[in-house]
């Protein structure tokens, strides 16, 4: 599984990255978590508000912060 | 509508503290207690409902609506959608690229970029709470007008080549926005409201505090000479002063309200408010990532002129 956190360094983007890590720990799963910060790569997904979460190439949500619990349900 | 709050402020100041509202201290304290309660009551309820409405208008959908819209129709729709689409200057860059890359004309994109921060719920609530609904309505109407007209003007100037070149090379993917359930909408609105209140409450309280001080201690008509309707320099000065005050929009209105009571003209107030919300230095820095200097300066210039015209107009007719 490949998880991408899209966002160019805003506070919420950092929090989302942390929450993804927590969600993985909660679920007892392992995955590659990448911060995607450059605009062209973010735009490739059609995302216009950050932070956004992409799991295996699919946009799960954008423009909001999700809790570790919520993310766990998406893994 | 807010008589129960007025009674509560009376109770605190007159009974508990034993002060006379006619005194400086009593007047200032009464203003502070009443206005703080009223503003936070308005803020928390209205931000919550606006946030729920916004869940139907993610920027990805707004972009699709505006794509390939013509001048005029497109500008009007963009200005209106600017009110309901959630926008934060921190994602102005992906928003801008997403818009122009999917065929939203440049002028229409600017109508959106101007209206979205300017006609925002915090400014409206505070104007409503401190100046009454008439002023809040005038602010919405003229704010939309500024966004529409400035967008049309910028569109007519054909400045597409003054957008940073890399913007045109980015390929924007298309994303399907999932329909949200009601519980998701409520959760979003709850988090949004608490997050926003946490961020702005100190500014509001400090703003009301300073407003209360002015209200109680500054003599009547003190500002009539400098900020009254007869001083032609008041409007441009208000616009210039408004630019660096962006982060404190919530704290500025209570101060301005107190200044109005001391003689500042209402057109000047409107121009000031619009400059605070629509023209901000942090946003300029962020937008310089996608706009070359000429276009950035044109954007600021056109909007500033439109705002000043609003200011002069209302100083004339009100």
Q: Please answer whether residues B214 and B255 qualify as being in contact, where contact means their C-beta atoms are separated by less than 8 angstroms.
A: yes
pLDDT for the residue B114 = 94
Q: What is the pTM of this model?
A: 0.85
| Closest Cβ opposite residue A45 in set B58, B59, B175 | B175
- Cα separation of A17 and A32, whole Å? 12
| Alpha helices in B55-132, H assignment, sequence order | 59-66, 73-84, 92-101, 106-118, 121-131
Please indicate whether, in this complex, the C-beta atoms of B95 and A50 are within 8 angstroms of each other. no
Q: What CATH number does the domain containing A46 carry?
A: 3.40.30.10
Separation of alpha carbons B155 and B165, rounded Å = 18
With CA atoms as reference, report the closest residue to B120 among B187, B37, B47.
B47
Contacts of B91 in chain A (CB under 8 A): 48-50, 63
Q: Kindly tell me if the per-residue pLDDT of A19 is higher than 60.
A: yes
- pLDDT at res. B247: 57
Question: What tokens does B154 get?
Answer: 């910028």
What is the reported pLDDT for B305?
96
What is the DSSP pairing of strand A52-55 with strand A58-62? antiparallel
Q: From the first residue on, what is the mean pLDDT of each consecutive set of 10 residues in chain B (318 residues)?
A: 81 81 81 86 89 88 90 94 82 88 93 92 84 89 96 95 89 75 88 88 88 79 72 87 73 82 86 89 88 95 95 88
Please report where in the chains the tokens 């005029």 appear, as a residue.
B72
In this predicted structure, what is the pLDDT of residue B76? 96
∠ CA B73-B142-B128, nearest 5°, is: 125
> Nearest C-alpha of chain A: how many angstroms from B31?
36
Q: How many domains does chain A have?
A: 1
ipTM of the complex: 0.77
C-alpha pair distances (Å), B20 with each of B24, B32, B34, B173, B211: 9, 14, 15, 65, 19
């Amino acid at each position: 599984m490949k998880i991408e956190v899209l966002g160019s360094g805003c506070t919420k983007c950092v929090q989302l990255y942390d929450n993804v890590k927590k969600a993985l720990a909660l679920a007892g799963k392992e995955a590659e978590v990448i911060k995607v910060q450059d605009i062209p790569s973010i735009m490739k997904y059609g995302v216009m508000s950050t932070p956004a979460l992409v799991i295996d190439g699919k946009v799960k949500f954008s423009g909001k912060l999700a809790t570790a619990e919520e993310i766990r349900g998406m893994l | 509508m807010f008589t129960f709050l007025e009674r509560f402020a009376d109770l605190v100041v007159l009974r508990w503290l034993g002060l006379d509202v006619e005194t400086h201290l009593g007047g200032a304290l009464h203003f502070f207690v009443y206005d703080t309660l009223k503003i936070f009551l308005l803020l928390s309820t209205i931000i919550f409902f606006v946030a729920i409405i916004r869940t139907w208008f993610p920027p990805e959908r707004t972009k699709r609506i505006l794509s390939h819209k013509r001048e005029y129709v497109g500008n009007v729709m963009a200005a209106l959608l600017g009110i309901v689409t959630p926008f934060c200057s921190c994602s102005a860059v992906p928003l801008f690229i997403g818009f122009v890359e999917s065929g939203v004309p440049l002028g229409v994109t600017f109508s959106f970029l101007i209206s979205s921060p300017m006609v925002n719920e915090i400014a409206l609530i505070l104007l409503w709470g401190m100046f009454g609904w008439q002023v809040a309505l005038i602010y919405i109407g003229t704010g939309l007008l500024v966004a529409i007209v400035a967008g049309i003007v910028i569109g007519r100037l054909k400045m597409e080549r003054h957008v940073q070149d890399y913007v045109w090379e980015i390929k924007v993917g298309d994303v399907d926005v999932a329909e949200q359930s009601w519980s998701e909408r409520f959760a979003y609105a709850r988090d949004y409201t608490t997050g926003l209140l946490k961020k702005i409450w100190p500014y509001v309280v400090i703003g009301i505090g300073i407003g209360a001080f002015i209200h109680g201690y500054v003599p009547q008509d003190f500002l009539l000479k400098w900020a009254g309707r007869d001083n032609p320099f008041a409007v441009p000065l208000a616009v210039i002063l408004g630019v660096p005050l962006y982060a404190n929009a919530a704290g500025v209105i209570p101060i301005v309200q107190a200044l109005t009571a001391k003689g500042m003209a209402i057109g000047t107030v409107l121009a000031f408010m619009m400059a605070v919300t629509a023209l901000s230095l942090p946003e300029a820095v962020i937008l310089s990532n996608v706009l070359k200097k000429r276009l950035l300066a044109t954007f600021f210039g056109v909007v500033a002129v439109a705002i000043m015209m609003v200011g002069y107009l209302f100083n004339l007719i009100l």
